[in-house]
Chain A
Amino acid sequence: MNRSFPTTLGEKILLSRSGTSSRVLIRPAWILMLLGAGLLIWMRSYWIARLGNEAFVTGYALLLICFALAALGIRKRIHAFRLGPVAVWQSAHHYLGAFCLFAYVLHAGFMPDGWIESILGMLFWTILGTGFLSWYVNRNSPRLLRAAGPAILRSDIPHAKILVGEQACQLAIQAAGSTNSAVIADYYRTKLADFFSTSRPWLYRTFPTGKKRRQLISDLENLERYLDDRGKVLMERMSQLVHDRDDLDFQSAIQNRMRFCAALHTFLLGAFTVFVIAHVWLAHQYSSHW
């Protein structure tokens, strides 16, 4: 795998030092995380040792991490300055998210009691969970997309689908003009017209597979015995169009899935912020000491 630019924080750090294989690249980020965890544990112990309220240490550390996590969204909206590639920021976001989990457990355990704290806890776990889901999807999607033909932007896919559909339609008209290839036109009318003109079902958009494509291409190949040489050429072109259309559907499903996870990850952030502010204020109001 050749990469022309670093895409993760680990790569960025290590490439600046040596630039070796990807397995080695991840290590510095984990080392940083371990150092951060050690620092947090030490600060907590120090605070306990001076008879302070250690919940404030872990709480404010958590708040700081949340601000750092929110920086990715800000970075994406700022284009005026040279702040480095978003991929590096995103990688840092992922590692900070993992570190956030540690800080949260240190601060509040798995799930706190109380109304506000419980709601806050649930929001946290939801955001963190969708964050991890996004992380997983983001890591796996490029490989899947590369396997599904040339890269295409999500916003260009509808137009590309129309083009493929139009080509398929013209091909079917050509096939209808000859007796030895009319079966292609018949097949287009009965099966392929819907395939090229309608959206794929919900199940496919969630978990895309090549089953439909394989079935259609197999059906087309079964028509070969009714075709002459020209008809066989038309059939191969139709098979290619089915393949292209399926790739577009596949890319659309994968990219939509990524977008959906990202949307799920962010749409509770506002509520989370409100409850965080309320929690911090109440903690200061009710606690007798830091």
Chain B
Amino acid sequence: MEPTKYYRSPHQAYRCGLANVGRPCPNGPLGRRCGQSQSDPETCYPIRTLYGWSRLGAWITTLFSLLFVLALLPTWKKKSSLVPGALSMAHAQLLHGTEDHSRFSIKESERCAACHPNVQTMGSKPEGHLASVKIGGQSQLCMRCHIHTIPNGYEGSPHDLTGEDLQELLATVAYPTPKKIANQTTECSQCHREHQGSGENLQTISSERCQACHRKQFESFSKGHPDLENYPEARPRSIAFDHGRHRDLHFAKKNATFDCRTCHLSTSENSVVGNVFRSVTFEQACAQCHLEPLRSAMEEGIAVIQLPSLDRRRLEQQGLSLGPWPEAASQIMDGKLAPLLIEWIATTTEGREVLNRLPRSGQLRDVDLNDRAQAENVTHLAELIRSQLQQLAIEGQPYLRRNLENQTAKYLEANPKRMAKYVSQDTQAPPSSFATVSIDAPRETMLSLWLNQMAGGVPPDMLRLAYENWYGKPAEGSNRLATRTIKQPTRGRYTRWQSSSDATDESLLLEPSKSPDSLLQDSDDLLSLPKPLDQTKAENSANPNTARSIRPLKAWEHLPYGGWFLDETRVAMVYVPQGHADTWLTRWLEWKTLQSNDEEPGWFDDSLSKQCLQCHSVGKDRIAGLFEGNPRTKDPSLVAFHPPDSPSSQQLNACWRIYQRSTAERALTRFSHTPHLTIPTLRDCQTCHHFQAQKGSRDPAFGWSQQGMIVHHEFESMQRSHCASCHTKQSAGDSCTQCHNYHVDLFSHKH
């Protein structure tokens, strides 16, 4: 009996139930039913075939899968069950934070929408500045959190660069065309792939992605990578240090070891290049040799306010009256106006005219008193000085600060470019969608802190005392002065200023010196060391008469730790700095530099200037840069020490310090010494840093300049082959991002 061909096809869900007994129905089954007519006595019960079972199973699993997916569909916008993979550690809290701590975690319904704009449930569209940014929606969501670390990220431009930096970068790219790249925006997710698991480092970028633009392709770092041209690049310097000269001249003379690590290695902190710094502190690296000369230069102090000597007799011969003027400064025409006096006098139109009529040399001895006009100018000058000092004596520090502020504002106004930057800090806040709290109280800025430190360092009581000593009690505002008790200090060659709290002895009240020539009297004392305080007190108590004859004060003896005193001989208020990095002096030197017409500041004292300028260079740009507070300024010496809204004294001193790259700053190339110094053969710095040829360090043009911003390098450039010996794929790695940053603050071959 031949089976019907109906059964020969394997794609049948049922087969005849009688087939197994050798009598299959001639027509085969019709679905689940027998294909024979009902009247036929030989009908069968069709049996499901393997194919049939398979098809049934397929339908069931398909239906079940469809139901499963459809069940998820209504909540697809907010369910983390659709997450394709675990987030990285940094972002994990976005998904797995507990609702209990709702302040810190995101609601479950908003978790996906925190990063995926297509599933936004908050219904927020980009607002304000966000509406004009170039990057796409998802990247905008990234920037909601990362704006502070990648402030230029909203631009979406290559390497976050804009303007000149971008053009400079594009010049280095061969393909695609720079124009094409410039118009291209990048999205965060193009490089940073999330949902790759908690162990995935989001910052690991494949070298292939770098080569999307950097098409000068090469096989590896060791084969084909461009040579390290002049790396590390020479940078502008704020502190002069000629390595070759120190090693060959100074250290050799002292037979001292020239060890790089003494100055450059820190055991306690890390810089952007590991625990190696461009320089450590003055105390650690320089004080051993430079502290003593500095003290010598400072021991006489600085005559901050000094009256010039004017010839009263000759002026009276011209029929002019000098008015109140200290006798000690009324003999001859001599001296030079103190820089501060010049600035204060120049605040008025009249004052500027008087100053313009003075000799170009600035020396008053060059004034021709036979010329009545010049003589009248001198009396005018004396009156202006007196007037300014009177105001100072009456109003004290507020007057001084106001004056300084006006002068600084004039400088900023005279430099529109700087002013524009300064103003723009307030009006163009960095884009951020976070709510900000506004407080009506005036914000402390770097400029205000800077002015406060200058004005706050001048003792107002001493100003009044100086005025009274030189001119008598001021007529105007005398009531205000009368409300305060002025302790009269001793008067010798020097009159030491004391605050009201520490002047207890009535004998210290102002008494003119009995000696006809205080200078001669002091000369002996200058050769003797001061007695200990206890011994002096004992002597005074034993002999009351000697207690009255207080020795005249000497700056180097009595003010070894710095301070103010009145010098009656010089007719000056003198300030003795508190050693290296004196806060008040640095502020005033900065102010003077800012006011000067050229980069050569007219500082207070030549010997002190020499000591300061020997190592430091504080140009106008550097100081003004402090007030701009722009951490991304092009000037590398001003970079990123100080966020503008949190000024501090330390930040103010930035321009005096050697430039240390901040860890917040991102240059195109990065390097850390730390892992390299673990290799014994690399622990000797000179393994990598070779001095230039000997002539280089002795070539004056190659060394330090007074301008301080000379860019030069005393070391030979690193060779790529040095690095490539270890940095291979199999050894220390050679991916692009191992040494290069994508998100950079500035692009320059100099960094």
State whether the Cβ of A151 lies closer than 8 Å to any Cβ in chain B. Answer: no
CB distance from A290 to the nearest CB of B (A): 10
Report yes or no: A112 in contact with B85, Cβ–Cβ below 8 A. Answer: yes
The CA of A268 and the CA of B10, in the complex, are separated in Å by 19
Report yes or no: B85 in contact with A256, Cβ–Cβ below 8 A. Answer: no
State whether the Cβ of B125 lies closer than 8 Å to any Cβ in chain A. Answer: no
CB distance from B736 to the nearest CB of A (A): 13
Given A48-B209, A273-B62; A159-B3 close (CB under 8 Å): yes
Ordered by A's residue number, 28 sampled pairs between the chains whose C-beta atoms are within 8 Å are A49-B208, A51-B190, A51-B191, A76-B11, A112-B84, A113-B86, A113-B197, A116-B84, A117-B84, A117-B85, A155-B3, A155-B8, A158-B20, A159-B3, A159-B19, A162-B21, A163-B22, A263-B50, A267-B61, A268-B58, A268-B61, A274-B65, A286-B116, A286-B119, A288-B116, A288-B117, A288-B136, A289-B187
The CA of A75 and the CA of B527, in the complex, are separated in Å by 117
Report yes or no: B1 in contact with A159, Cβ–Cβ below 8 A. Answer: yes
CB distance from A103 to the nearest CB of B (A): 18
Count of A residues near B, CB < 8 Å? 45
Given A282-B76, A282-B82; A49-B212 close (CB under 8 Å): yes
Given A285-B119, A287-B189; A113-B54 close (CB under 8 Å): no
Given A153-B8, A263-B51, A288-B138; A270-B65 close (CB under 8 Å): yes
State whether the Cβ of B496 lies closer than 8 Å to any Cβ in chain A. Answer: no
Closest to A268 in B: B61
State whether the Cβ of B523 lies closer than 8 Å to any Cβ in chain A. Answer: no
Report yes or no: B84 in contact with A114, Cβ–Cβ below 8 A. Answer: yes
Q: Which of B1, B64, B85, B186 has the most CB of A within 10 A?
A: B85
| 8 Å CB interface, A38-55 against B | 45, 48-53
CB-contact partner of B61 in A49, A113, A271, under 8 A = A271
The CA of A189 and the CA of B19, in the complex, are separated in Å by 25
Report yes or no: B10 in contact with A259, Cβ–Cβ below 8 A. Answer: yes
The CA of A112 and the CA of B197, in the complex, are separated in Å by 10
Q: Which of A51, A155, A163, A289 has the most CB of B within 10 A?
A: A155
Report yes or no: B206 in contact with A48, Cβ–Cβ below 8 A. Answer: yes
CB distance from B76 to the nearest CB of A (A): 7
The CA of A288 and the CA of B117, in the complex, are separated in Å by 8
| 8 Å CB interface, A147-172 against B | 153-156, 158-159, 162-163
The CA of A100 and the CA of B11, in the complex, are separated in Å by 26
For B12-34 the 0/1 string (1 means CB < 8 A from A) is 00010001111010000000000
Q: A51-B209, A286-B116, A288-B138 are in contact. List 17 more A-B contacts (CB 8 A).
A: A76-B11, A113-B195, A117-B84, A154-B10, A155-B15, A156-B3, A256-B50, A263-B50, A269-B58, A270-B62, A274-B69, A275-B69, A278-B69, A282-B76, A282-B82, A285-B118, A289-B187
State whether the Cβ of A7 lies closer than 8 Å to any Cβ in chain B. Answer: no
The CA of A6 and the CA of B53, in the complex, are separated in Å by 32
Complex contacts, B190 vs chain A, CB 8 Å: 51-53, 289
- Residues of B contacting A: mostly: helix
State whether the Cβ of B83 lies closer than 8 Å to any Cβ in chain A. Answer: yes
Closest to A286 in B: B116
Report yes or no: B209 in contact with A162, Cβ–Cβ below 8 A. Answer: no
State whether the Cβ of A136 lies closer than 8 Å to any Cβ in chain B. Answer: no
Given A159-B1, A273-B62; A115-B81 close (CB under 8 Å): yes
CB distance from A57 to the nearest CB of B (A): 13
Q: Which of B83, B86, B188, B206 has the most CB of A within 10 A?
A: B83
State whether the Cβ of B218 lies closer than 8 Å to any Cβ in chain A. Answer: no
| 8 Å CB interface, B277-312 against A | none
The CA of A285 and the CA of B51, in the complex, are separated in Å by 38
Complex contacts, B72 vs chain A, CB 8 Å: 116
| 8 Å CB interface, A95-117 against B | 112-117
State whether the Cβ of A77 lies closer than 8 Å to any Cβ in chain B. Answer: yes
Q: Which of B58, B64, B116, B186 has the most CB of A within 10 A?
A: B58
Closest to A255 in B: B10
Complex contacts, A163 vs chain B, CB 8 Å: 22
CB distance from A278 to the nearest CB of B (A): 5
Residues of A within 8 A of B (CB): 45, 48-53, 76-77, 112-117, 153-156, 158-159, 162-163, 256, 259-260, 262-264, 266-271, 273-275, 278, 282, 285-289
| 8 Å CB interface, B393-415 against A | none
State whether the Cβ of B174 lies closer than 8 Å to any Cβ in chain A. Answer: no
CB-contact partner of B211 in A49, A269, A274, A289, under 8 A = A49
For B199-225 the 0/1 string (1 means CB < 8 A from A) is 000000010110110000000000000
CB distance from A46 to the nearest CB of B (A): 10
Given A114-B82, A278-B69; A155-B138 close (CB under 8 Å): no
CB distance from B742 to the nearest CB of A (A): 12
Report yes or no: A162 in contact with B22, Cβ–Cβ below 8 A. Answer: yes
Residues of B within 8 A of A (CB): 1, 3, 7-8, 10-11, 15, 19-22, 24, 50-51, 53-55, 57-59, 61-62, 64-66, 69, 72, 76, 81-86, 112, 116-119, 136-139, 186-191, 195, 197, 206, 208-209, 211-212
Report yes or no: A48 in contact with B61, Cβ–Cβ below 8 A. Answer: no
The 9 A-B pairs with the shortest beta carbon distances in the complex, nearest first, are A270-B62, A263-B54, A113-B85, A162-B22, A288-B138, A271-B65, A114-B84, A274-B65, A267-B57
The CA of A156 and the CA of B6, in the complex, are separated in Å by 12
Q: Which of A50, A266, A271 has the most CB of B within 10 A?
A: A271
CB distance from B618 to the nearest CB of A (A): 45
Complex contacts, B69 vs chain A, CB 8 Å: 116, 274-275, 278
The CA of A49 and the CA of B213, in the complex, are separated in Å by 8
Complex contacts, A266 vs chain B, CB 8 Å: 54, 58
Complex contacts, B62 vs chain A, CB 8 Å: 270-271, 273-274
Complex contacts, A77 vs chain B, CB 8 Å: 11
The CA of A260 and the CA of B190, in the complex, are separated in Å by 46
Q: Which of A256, A263, A286, A288 has the most CB of B within 10 A?
A: A288
CB-contact partner of A155 in B19, B83, B85, B189, under 8 A = B19
Report yes or no: B208 in contact with A275, Cβ–Cβ below 8 A. Answer: no
Complex contacts, A270 vs chain B, CB 8 Å: 58-59, 61-62, 65
The CA of A275 and the CA of B51, in the complex, are separated in Å by 23
Closest to B62 in A: A270
Complex contacts, B8 vs chain A, CB 8 Å: 153, 155
Report yes or no: A288 in contact with B195, Cβ–Cβ below 8 A. Answer: no
Report yes or no: A289 in contact with B189, Cβ–Cβ below 8 A. Answer: yes
The CA of A289 and the CA of B10, in the complex, are separated in Å by 46
Complex contacts, B57 vs chain A, CB 8 Å: 263, 267
CB distance from B700 to the nearest CB of A (A): 51
Report yes or no: A155 in contact with B212, Cβ–Cβ below 8 A. Answer: no
Complex contacts, A268 vs chain B, CB 8 Å: 58, 61
Q: Which of B8, B21, B61, B189 has the most CB of A within 10 A?
A: B61
Report yes or no: A288 in contact with B64, Cβ–Cβ below 8 A. Answer: no
The CA of A116 and the CA of B59, in the complex, are separated in Å by 19
The CA of A268 and the CA of B56, in the complex, are separated in Å by 11
Complex contacts, A285 vs chain B, CB 8 Å: 76, 116, 118-119
CB distance from B26 to the nearest CB of A (A): 13
CB distance from B91 to the nearest CB of A (A): 14
The CA of A45 and the CA of B209, in the complex, are separated in Å by 9
CB distance from A283 to the nearest CB of B (A): 8
Closest to B117 in A: A288
Closest to B116 in A: A286
The CA of A225 and the CA of B69, in the complex, are separated in Å by 72
Closest to B53 in A: A263
CB-contact partner of A158 in B22, B65, B116, B186, under 8 A = B22
Complex contacts, A156 vs chain B, CB 8 Å: 3
Complex contacts, B136 vs chain A, CB 8 Å: 288-289
Complex contacts, A289 vs chain B, CB 8 Å: 136, 187, 189-190
Report yes or no: B139 in contact with A288, Cβ–Cβ below 8 A. Answer: yes
Closest to B85 in A: A113
